[in-house]
Amino acid sequence: MNDEPKSTGARRRRAAYRLGVEAGRRTGQIEAINKLAEVASAVAFQAGEPANEIAGLILSGIATKPALIERFMAEGSELIIDGTLIPTFAGIQGTLTYRALNGEIVHPDERRNRLPRAATKSEASK
User: Model confidence over 51-80: pLDDT tens digits?
Assistant: 998 898 899 888 888 999 999 999 999 998
What is the count of structural domains for the chain? Answer: 1
Q: How far apart are CA 125 and CA 27, in angstroms?
A: 33
- The helix/strand/coil state of 118 is helix
Q: Which domain holds residue 77?
A: 6-124
Give a yes or no: residue 89 inside a domain. yes
Q: Are 115 and 123 in contact (CB under 8 A)?
A: yes
Give a yes or no: residue 71 inside a domain. yes
Q: Is the dihedral of CA 31, 44, 92, 97 positive or negative?
A: positive
pLDDT of residue 87: 64
Give a yes or no: residue 91 inside a domain. yes
pTM: 0.64
Q: How far apart are CA 60 and CA 107, in angstroms?
A: 11
